[in-house]
Amino acid sequence: MAYTTGITDESKDIKDEIKALLHKRKAILLAHNYQRPEVQDIADLCGDSLELSIKASQTDAAVIVFCGVHFMAETASILCPDKKVILPVSNAGCPMADMITAKELRRKKEGLSKGKRVIVISYVNTTADIKAETDICCTSANVIQVVNSVDTSRQIFMTPDKNLAQYAIKHTGRNIVYWEGFCPVHNNLTVGQVREAKSAHPEALFLAHPECPPEILDLADEVKSTSGMIAYAGSSESREFIIGTEIGILHPLSKANPGKSFFPADPGMICSDMKKIGLREILTALQTMQPEVKVPREIREKAKGAVDRMLAIPSGDL
Ligand code: SF4
């Protein structure tokens, strides 16, 4: 594994400097559940991307330091326009979000809209440009409720994740046309790897993220978002779990459940973009207050409409 646990004297000094600068800048440090353990440990808030931005919007922080990937920092900018948003490593991107452009989405909409009324549902793991072309966003936790909220006379087009779309089709019975995007980290998990993990840990429940392919979800005891997995593992009577998502989540799962054991479905489920930010990058970002991510107003307002329409649906989960 390319990243460290961060338990060194040097990192203790860096952590102290980060804390002092966070205070001085009136900044809040957010870390996605897939971030390196040492980054999660120093963050003010850890969680799913949208959940983090919503919680940050409810604080009086002037600055958000987002330890995640670019679309997450954009979402923070969309929901917190009065706060300065910093992504410590500017090229921390998301291959799945980059699989569709706004131009491609517009072309797809035009093609589909001949004689039909199309509604675009976009997973929050998309760029701000895509959200601005979207009718309603969804998360991996509320996708079923969002799809069910759409009038049955409408043709649904979902982007960018084909696996999330197929999961929604299976659980709603709706006719959904979808973009063929995918998260390489989840899409590469194989049935053979899951079977191997299950035979190594026969008592364990298998929790899978809906970004995994349908044949993987068919093997799952539960399909959950990252925050959903943390909540489920905490309340379950089971003591062992096989986890089908990016391995960064093993850190918060183990931390929150000291008496339980968590095993990766595949130890190779590592998102290299999610590991680009370390303590040193956070410190430099706080010293320079760069690189900033700011979504232009016209895009922001349209994108926020798609997020707000999702939040208006009573789903209970994000
Ligand atoms: S884990 Fe997948 S969806 Fe998440 S940032 Fe990495 S590539 Fe994108």
Question: What's 249's domain CATH number?
Answer: 3.40.50.10800
Q: In this structure, is residue 318 part of a structural domain?
A: no
Residue 306: inside a domain: yes
| Substitution site in 271, 272, 277 for ligand 1 pocket (most atoms within 8 Å of beta carbon) | 271
Output the CA 94–ligand 1 centroid distance in Å: 5
**Nearest CA-CA partner of 112 in 147, 155, 160, 166:** 155
316 located within any domain:
no
Residues 79-137: tens digit of each pLDDT: 999 999 999 999 999 999 999 999 999 999 999 877 678 999 999 999 999 999 999 99
* Domain span at 140: 97-183+298-311
Residue 3 confidence class, pLDDT cut points 50, 70, 90: very low
Is the residue at 128 inside a domain? yes
84 found inside a domain: yes
pLDDT band at 318 (very low <50, low <70, confident <90, very high): low
Domain count, the chain: 3
Q: What is the pLDDT of residues 103-115, one digit of tens each?
A: 999 999 999 877 6
Neighbours of 44 (CB within 10 A): 17
With respect to residue 160, please indicate whether it lies within any of the assigned structural domains: yes
Asked if residue 307 belongs to a domain, the reply is yes
Evaluate: CB of 189 within 6 angstroms of ligand 1. no
Helix (H/G/I), strand (E/B), else coil: 31: strand
For residue range 147-160, what is the model confidence (pLDDT) as tens digits? 999 999 999 999 99
Mean residue pLDDT of the chain comes to 95
Give pLDDT tens digits for 25-63: 999 999 999 999 999 999 999 999 999 999 999 999 999
How far is 251 from 265, CA to CA, in rounded Å? 15
Residue 30 CA, ligand 1 centroid: distance in Å: 17
